[in-house]
């Protein structure tokens, strides 16, 4: 089947535009709209609630986010009406499990993505016996979902290794697409020197925000900005009140992020855990300097190496920034130009990789066992058939 003939449904637990996973699929769907017959993203939204989202609970440890439960009747009805060739889910999650359960009973292939280093996040947030239980539980859930999938995709070589350790021996490597705004908006020519420094992302422990804030305090000659939201918001706001060279913009739309990137000379991603680091790719596409830690998965794409300034292991952002400033001005400009070129190429490459993964998954429909609906699912089908579309 050709890519242009496919109907694809993405079912995602992450709130659209609020973290890396939510942003990834929002951007991917925006590109696929012109490449496939039909594509739809089912995921919670905060600004305009999606019909799929039902009750919500506070996210443990992060009052800025909520855990939404899916409306099963609506989701079942949507899948039966759309008749997708493939359902794509990141796992594990409540929406993911719901879509997987429905797909199994309708004989629809499922593609599962692996985009979060759960093992490292557990080690960062929890300790002792609870961390051990959480690691084993997440490992079991991931293995269960991956082995039921028609295809499995991930975004970096280290994540590929994690899949192989779970017994998935033929995962697909896919790149990270850029939101159309980062490609189509005319670029504002960057300044030749570093005067304005930016952080964009969740305000959470794995982002090492304390190091970014320490840098802003140590360099009063520069202006620093933070875009994002998360459990460490109060800490950021406290620093903003104490420093005249630090500003905080909260969560921003994709269009506003483009504007903020264009207003700055350097983006810093000081993360200790980062499966990829989409914002780094976005800043590269806008012809900006980008500084990342060795922990960022974007470093594992050789095609992007020429456009990245990578901190040394255990090097502080302050020392890394001094190294960057000591580079010849022309060398920094070449890094920005190379970054822009590579980011745009990786975007096209990523869309080609996804097209291949989706075609492969769609072909698996003929090999799936004949679905045997349970009494519960039969009831859901009757409810969906009588509901308003």
Q: Which residue carries 């794509």 as its tokens?
A: 88
209-218 and 317-326 are packed helices; what angle lies between their axes, rounded to 10 degrees?
60
Domains, the chain: 3-178+346-386 (3.40.50.2000), 180-345 (3.40.50.2000)
Residue-level pLDDT at 165 = 84
Residue-level pLDDT at 118 = 62
Residue-level pLDDT at 145 = 83
Q: Residue 41's beta-bridge partner residues?
A: 10
pTM equals 0.83
Residue-level pLDDT at 117 = 62
Residue-level pLDDT at 60 = 61
Residue-level pLDDT at 384 = 47
172 by DSSP, 3-state: which? strand
Q: pLDDT tens digit string along 103-146?
A: 988 989 999 998 776 666 655 556 666 666 666 777 677 778 88
* Among the listed residues 147, 122, 117, the one whose alpha carbon sits nearest the alpha carbon of residue 133: 122
- Calpha distance 40→264 (Å, rounded): 34
Provide the residue-wise pLDDT of the chain in tens; the chain has 389 residues. Answer: 788 999 999 999 888 877 778 889 999 999 999 999 999 999 988 778 888 888 877 766 566 667 788 999 999 999 999 999 999 998 778 899 899 999 988 989 999 998 776 666 655 556 666 666 666 777 677 778 888 888 999 988 888 988 888 888 889 999 999 999 999 999 999 987 899 999 999 999 899 999 999 999 999 999 999 999 988 999 999 999 999 999 999 999 889 999 999 999 999 999 998 989 999 999 999 999 999 999 999 999 999 999 999 999 999 999 999 999 999 999 999 999 999 999 999 999 999 999 999 999 998 865 565 554 555 555 545 554 454 43
Is the Cβ–Cβ distance between 293 and 311 less than 8 Å? yes
- Calpha distance 236→29 (Å, rounded): 32
192 by DSSP, 3-state: which? coil
Planar angle of CA 11, 351, 39, nearest 5 degrees: 35
Q: Residue 58's beta-bridge partner residues?
A: 66
Q: pLDDT tens digit string along 202-225?
A: 999 899 999 999 999 999 999 999
């Amino acid at each position: 089947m050709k890519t242009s003939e496919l109907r694809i449904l993405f079912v995602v637990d992450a709130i659209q535009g609020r973290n890396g996973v939510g942003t990834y699929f929002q951007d991917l769907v925006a590109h696929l709209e012109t490449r496939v017959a039909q594509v739809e993203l089912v995921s919670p939204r905060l600004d305009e609630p999606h019909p799929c989202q039902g009750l919500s609970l506070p996210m443990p440890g992060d009052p800025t986010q909520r855990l939404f439960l899916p409306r099963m009747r609506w989701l079942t009805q949507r899948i039966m009406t759309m008749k997708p060739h493939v359902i794509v889910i990141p796992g594990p999650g409540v929406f993911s499990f719901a879509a997987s359960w429905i797909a199994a009973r309708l004989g629809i292939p499922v593609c599962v993505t692996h985009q979060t280093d759960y093992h490292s996040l557990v080690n960062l947030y929890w300790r002792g016996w609870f961390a051990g239980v959480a690691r084993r539980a997440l490992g079991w859930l991931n293995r269960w979902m991956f082995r039921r999938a028609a295809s499995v995709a991930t975004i970096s070589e280290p994540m590929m290794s994690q899949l192989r350790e779970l017994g998935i021996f033929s995962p697909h490597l896919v790149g990270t697409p850029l939101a159309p705004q980062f490609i189509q908006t005319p670029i504002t020519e960057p300044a030749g020197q570093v005067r304005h420094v930016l952080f964009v992302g969740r305000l959470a422990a794995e982002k090492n925000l304390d190091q970014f804030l320490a840098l802003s305090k140590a360099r009063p000659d520069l202006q620093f900005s933070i875009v994002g939201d998360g459990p460490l918001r109060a800490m950021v706001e406290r620093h903003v009140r104490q420093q005249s060279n630090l500003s905080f913009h909260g969560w921003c739309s994709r269009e506003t992020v483009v504007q903020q990137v264009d207003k700055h000379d350097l983006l810093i991603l000081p993360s200790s855990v980062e499966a990829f680091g989409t914002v780094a790719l976005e800043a590269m596409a806008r012809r900006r300097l980008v500084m990342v830690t060795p922990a960022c998965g974007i470093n594992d794409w050789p095609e992007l190496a020429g456009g990245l300034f990578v901190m040394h292991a255990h090097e502080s952002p302050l020392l890394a920034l001094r190294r960057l400033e000591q580079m010849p001005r022309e060398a920094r400009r070449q890094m920005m130009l190379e970054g822009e070129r590579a980011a745009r190429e990786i975007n096209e490459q990523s869309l080609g990789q996804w097209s291949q993964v989706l075609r492969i998954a769609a072909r698996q429909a003929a090999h799936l066992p004949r679905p045997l609906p349970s009494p519960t699912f039969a009831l859901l089908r009757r409810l969906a058939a009588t509901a308003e579309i």
